[in-house]
């Protein structure tokens, strides 16, 4: 429920799971945010009630079955991964019976695996894919209102400060990593020559 607070109140996904929920809401024409509570209160209170009911049912199911869940952890990972792939492929095929969708799923799986092997964080990429089109729409709207005047993006002190902080967040970490590598290389060369 911790991910639902920023998602439902502000429309901001904080995890990959929240980004998937945001995409699901948008598929049904719902835009999470402050107005969602005013426009669709029955849906939101139904969602909150279903979370309470789901937690009670999970408690009832998990307490007697905890031994089985512990034994599931003893299954080797490659069997679990294989089962997940099979069920995912069956689900994609059952939904669309399209070879293209199956190939797309496999291709995205390979990309996800490569991202995990190279320690590329998947959650920010997924959040970027979900929020990117919204950011583009808002940028176009701001430029249309300002008659293509880009200075409107930094016209207020708050906007300029936020853009400056974003630029620092993008620029400073690579510079610090470069300085650390350079000082480590100088330290090694001094140790070798000394």
Per-residue pLDDT reduced to its tens digit, 125-149:
877 887 788 889 888 988 898 888 8
Residue 135 pLDDT: 84
Residue 49 pLDDT: 94
Number of domains in the chain: 1
Residue pair 61/40 in contact (Cβ under 8 Å)? The answer is no
In a domain, 41, yes or no: no
Residue 167 pLDDT: 92
- Residue with more model confidence, 88 or 16: 88
- Residue with more model confidence, 134 or 85: 85
Residue 58 pLDDT: 92
Number of Cβ within 10 Å of residue 31's Cβ equals 13
In a domain, 56, yes or no: no
Residue 152 pLDDT: 84
In a domain, 191, yes or no: yes
| Boundaries of domain holding 174 | 156-194
Residue 1 pLDDT: 61
Encode 70-93: b = buried (16+ Cβ within 10 Å), e = exposed: eeeeeeeeeeeeeeeeeeeeeebe
Mean pLDDT score, 11-37: 84
Residue 72 has pLDDT above 90, yes or no: no
Mean pLDDT score, 23-39: 85
In a domain, 182, yes or no: yes
Mean pLDDT of the chain: 87
In a domain, 187, yes or no: yes
Mean pLDDT score, 51-68: 91
Terminal Cα distance for the chain, rounded: 58
In a domain, 168, yes or no: yes
Residue 194 pLDDT: 59
* Segment holding 62, helix H or strand E: helix 41-72
pTM: 0.49
Half-sphere exposure of 179 (CA within 13 A, CB side): 6
In a domain, 115, yes or no: no
Encoding tokens for residue 133? 């089109």
Q: What does the pLDDT look like over 154-194, one tens digit per residue? A: 888 998 899 899 999 999 998 998 998 888 877 777 667 65
In a domain, 117, yes or no: no
Residue pair 8/25 in contact (Cβ under 8 Å)? The answer is no
């Amino acid at each position: 429920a911790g991910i639902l607070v920023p998602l439902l109140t502000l429309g901001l996904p904080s995890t990959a799971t929240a980004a998937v929920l945001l995409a699901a809401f948008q598929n049904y024409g719902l835009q999470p945010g402050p107005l969602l509570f005013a426009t669709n209160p029955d849906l939101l209170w139904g969602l909150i009630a279903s979370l309470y009911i789901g937690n009670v049912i999970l408690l009832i199911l998990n307490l007697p079955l905890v031994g089985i869940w512990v034994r599931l952890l003893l299954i080797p990972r490659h069997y679990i991964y294989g089962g997940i792939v099979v069920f995912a492929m069956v689900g994609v095929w059952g939904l669309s019976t399209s070879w293209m969708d199956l190939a797309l799923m496999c291709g995205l799986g390979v990309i996800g695996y490569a991202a995990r092997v190279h320690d590329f964080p998947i959650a920010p990429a997924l959040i970027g894919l979900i929020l990117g089109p919204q950011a583009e729409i808002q940028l176009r709207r701001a430029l249309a209102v300002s008659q293509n005047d880009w200075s409107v993006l930094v016209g207020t002190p708050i906007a300029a400060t936020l853009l400056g902080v974003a630029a620092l967040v993008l620029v400073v970490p690579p510079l610090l990593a470069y300085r650390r590598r350079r000082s480590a290389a100088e330290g090694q060369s001094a140790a070798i020559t000394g």
